[in-house]
Amino acid sequence: MASLKEVRARITSINSTQQITKAMKMVAAAKLRRAQDNITQLRPYAKKLSQMLGTVSAGAETASESPYKQVRPIDRVLLIVVTSDRGLCGAFNTNVVKAALTLIDEKYASQARSGNVEIMPIGKKGAEAFQRRGFKVNTAHVDAFQSLSFATVRTAAEEAMAGFAAGRYDVVEVIYNEFKNAAMQIVRTEQMLPIVATEAPAGSAASAINYTFEPSEEEIITELIPKTLKIQLYKAVLDSNASEHGARMTAMDKATENAGELLKELRLVYNRTRQAAITTEILEIVGGAEALASA
């Protein structure tokens, strides 16, 4: 049985750890509130913009001529993997990395064998995971979360768009965690490029819309396509940011609960050890007294 000193040291250590996990949970909860507000406000705009682009570009000649809609044989692949900069958030980062590796194995295995799969990580954990596995990693935007803003994410989107338009990539996909609530994040894989035109179902309200273009269809679509692509990537990053704080809050809450359970067990062990020590001392005293009386 462990000594009283060892048990007391463990109790003190776990108490300190529990205080840290409680504080981290509170910090994550505060950050989650702001991050959740940001993604909640952006989603309706991003969804409407995407729907409008899909409806307008489905039958527009200008859109079909866009370099971002050119479908080519897939030889070179760019995967934008959105993770976090720090750990202590459960399986948040692991799930994204696993989803990206599964996508490569199932869809881009031949390209990976040829060394034509490039990873653009947003978040340090993704960069570290793919560098360890020997992938070609573009670390230009890995620090985006240190100053998260639309301008920061826009540079990553523009690089991916320029690479696709120049033929350096034949397809661009984004893997990220979509935020549902603090306890649930869903890993999503979305094709960013080439753009897939989506026609509204016949009879729906969207299909009945007759757009009037001002100043011209060509100018509007030329401006709309790049803006929509940037907004969609920004939405994915904001989703991931909110998911990270939710996952960390949940993980720290569970860690705090586990520390509490462990403290209960250790206090029980401490009391038992202390009682055993007291009983031993009493027996020694009684034995000594009896020995003196019989002498």
pLDDT of residue 220: 74
What whole-number distance in Å separates Cα of residue 114 and Cα of residue 271?
64
pLDDT of 199 higher than 60: no
DSSP per residue over 44-93, as a string? HHHHHHHHHHHHHHHS-HHHHT-GGG------SEEEEEE--SS--STTHH
pLDDT at 189: 96
pLDDT number for residue 288:
81
d(C-alpha 148, C-alpha 128), whole Å: 20
* Residue 218 pLDDT greater than 90, yes or no: no
Q: Average pLDDT in the 192-220 region?
A: 67
Domain boundaries 21-196+209-252, CATH class: alpha beta
**Which residue in this structure is represented by tokens 């959105």?**
82
Instruction: Kindly indicate the confidence band of residue 262, based on its pLDDT and cuts at 50, 70 and 90.
Output: very high
Q: Is the pLDDT of residue 63 over 60?
A: no
The Cα-based distances of 122 to 89, 128, 218, 225 in angstroms read 16, 11, 33, 22
User: What is the predicted pLDDT for the residue at 242?
Assistant: 97
> Which three-class secondary structure state does DSSP give residue 183?
coil
- Sign, Cα dihedral of 94, 95, 100, 105: positive
- Determine which of 142-156, 171-185, 260-274, 278-292 has the lowest per-residue pLDDT on average: 278-292
- In this structure, the number of other CB atoms found within 10 A of the CB of residue 184 comes to 13
Q: How confident is residue 206, by pLDDT bands cut at 50, 70 and 90?
A: low
Tell me whether the omega of the peptide bond preceding residue 73 falls within 30 degrees of 0, making it cis: no
Q: How far is Cα 172 from Cα 193, in angstroms, rounded to an integer? A: 5
Q: Give residue-wise pLDDT tens across range 111-124.
A: 999 999 999 999 99
Q: Over 60: is that where the pLDDT of 202 sits?
A: no
Q: What angle do CA 71, 234, 192 make, to 5 degrees?
A: 10
pLDDT in tens, 8-55: 999 999 999 999 999 999 999 999 999 999 999 999 999 988 887 777
H/E stretch holding 265 reads helix 217-294
Q: Is residue 186 over pLDDT 80? A: yes
Residue 97 and residue 127: Cα distance in Å, rounded?
A: 10
Residue 80: count of CB within 10 angstroms of its CB? 27
Position 78 pLDDT exceeds 60: yes
Residue 167 pLDDT greater than 90, yes or no: yes
Please state, rounded to an integer, the average pLDDT across all residues of the chain.
89
Supply the DSSP string of 202-230, one letter for each residue.
Answer: TTSTTTT-----SS-HHHHHHHHHHHHHH
List of residues 6+ apart from 42 with CB closer than 8 A: 231, 234, 235, 238
Closest CA relative to residue 99, chosen from 164, 196, 178, 193: 178
- Three-class SS of residue 117? strand
Q: How confident is the model at residue 219 (pLDDT cuts 50, 70, 90)?
A: confident
Average pLDDT value for residue range 175-200: 87
Position 280 scores a pLDDT of 83
- Segment 80-131, tens digit of pLDDT: 999 999 999 999 999 999 999 999 999 999 999 999 999 999 999 999 999 9
Given this model, what pLDDT does residue 238 score? 97
Q: Name the band, by pLDDT with cuts 50, 70 and 90, for residue 253.
A: very high
The confidence score (pLDDT) of residue 277 equals 81
